[in-house]
């Protein structure tokens, strides 16, 4: 049986590098980034150098694909023009090219930073209002909204994954709550690319984290069953945490340092705010 052809943007990044070997058995991968091909490119992978702001290049990238895993774009906080070009204008090109080229499934790498200003004492699902902790988080909230539009108006099937932190093990106290093992991310991606009932699903990208701040029942309802446990790495995470300075703002909020960056608001009001659903 012919493998489905899946485009993976942001393939030269750290998460893309972790995912490639996990996805190769199930999909024919077309890899893309702004860089030249990585040295470990296999014979089963095809590379396209493309900038998301170049609509013609994005159209060519999507031609003939069955699905897209979109990791590309600006991956951390930055100035507005940088975020806008990659994660707003570039993301529009991605979605509209998928519509034009008949790409049926999209996995959008959203982020916990779309909801980063919720306090760590608050457990949230996917139905609460977004509370982005920076311009990067705003762009991820925009991406979720754009996915909803293209699902409703154009019939694409979209899964937006609010990714915590992808790594082999959680690196500090905060990440014991938001950690995502690469194998668990690959499982979520498989669900998004194959589940028959996907319309526009928003799920949290988290492994089995006993300290989780997120209700991930939306993912569990689709069959997600994470295999990796954050508490298996608690000694390592807490030892790394001991090396970090205290953050009087970030240590109280789910988005951590992203919340503290440039913060000059009323912390008590931020922590006590109850936003409408």
The catalytic residue positions are 136
**Of 207, 205, 212, the residue nearest 177 (C-alpha):** 212
Instruction: Give Cβ neighbours of residue 36 (< 8 Å, ≥ 6 apart).
Output: 49
Q: How far apart are CA 125 and CA 221, in angstroms?
A: 13
Q: How far apart are CA 40 and CA 50, in angstroms?
A: 19
Q: How far apart are CA 13 and CA 11, in angstroms?
A: 5
User: 242: which 2 tokens?
Assistant: 């001991």
User: 47: which 2 tokens?
Assistant: 């590379």
User: 238: which 2 tokens?
Assistant: 């807490």
Q: Are 52 and 9 in contact (CB under 8 A)?
A: yes
């Amino acid at each position: 049986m012919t493998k489905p052809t899946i485009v993976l943007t942001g393939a030269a990044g750290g998460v893309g590098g972790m995912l490639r070997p996990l996805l190769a058995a199930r999909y024919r991968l077309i890899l893309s980034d702004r860089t030249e091909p990585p040295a470990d490119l296999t014979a089963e992978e095809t590379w396209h150098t493309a900038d998301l702001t170049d609509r013609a290049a994005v159209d060519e990238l999507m031609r003939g694909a069955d699905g897209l895993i979109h990791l590309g774009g600006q991956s951390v906080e930055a100035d507005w023009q940088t975020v806008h070009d990659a994660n707003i204008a570039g993301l529009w090109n991605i979605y509209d090219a998928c519509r034009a080229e008949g790409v049926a499934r999209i996995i959008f790498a959203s982020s916990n930073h779309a909801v980063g200003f919720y306090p760590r004492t608050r457990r949230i699902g996917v139905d609460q209002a977004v509370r982005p902790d920076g311009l990067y988080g705003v762009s991820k909230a925009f991406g979720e909204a754009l996915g909803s539009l293209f699902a409703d108006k154009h019939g694409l099937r979209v899964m937006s994954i609010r990714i915590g932190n992808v790594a082999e093990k959680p690196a500090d106290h905060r990440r014991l709550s938001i950690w995502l093992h690469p194998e668990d991310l690959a499982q979520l991606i498989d669900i998004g690319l194959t589940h028959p009932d996907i319309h526009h699903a928003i799920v949290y990208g988290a492994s089995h984290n006993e300290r989780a701040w997120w209700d991930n029942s939306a993912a569990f309802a689709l069959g997600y069953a994470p295999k990796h446990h954050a508490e298996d790495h608690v000694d390592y995470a807490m030892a790394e945490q001991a090396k970090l300075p205290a953050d009087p703002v970030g240590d109280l909020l789910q988005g951590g340092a992203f919340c503290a960056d440039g913060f000059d608001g009323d912390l008590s009001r931020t922590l006590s705010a109850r936003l409408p659903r």
